[in-house]
Amino acid sequence: MSQPNWEPNAACHAYPAEVFFPIAYHPHRRDVQAAKRICAACPVQAECLAWALANPYRSSDGIWGGTTPPERASTRRARTAERTAAA
């Protein structure tokens, strides 16, 4: 598996991986909020999120681009619905 070219510039590299892989993904959990704050200040947040949305099996767990797995699944469903409606 190759590393995305944006990953070395990601803010998450300064933190333990556990910060971005909480036990549960409830939006009000402090650990989820902490990870999202780190992502919000990350210079490659947009690239990270785009990668996570394009690679659902490799990003099925964890906070990526400031989003949780349920949030990414919702975004994917919405995008699929938009494409279907446009066709």
By C-alpha distance, which of 45, 43, 55, 44 is closest to 2? 55
Predicted confidence at residue 51, as pLDDT, reads 94
**Cα–Cα distance measured from residue 31 to residue 17, given in angstroms and rounded to the nearest whole number:** 12
Q: Is the pLDDT of residue 1 over 70?
A: no
List pLDDT tens digits, range 48-75.
999 999 998 888 899 999 999 999 999 9
- Average pLDDT (10-20) is 94
Q: Is 0.95 surpassed by the pTM of this model? A: no
Sign of CA dihedral 29, 43, 52, 6: negative
Report domain extents, the chain. Answer: 9-86
Banded pLDDT at 29 (limits 50, 70, 90): confident
Predicted confidence at residue 43, as pLDDT, reads 98
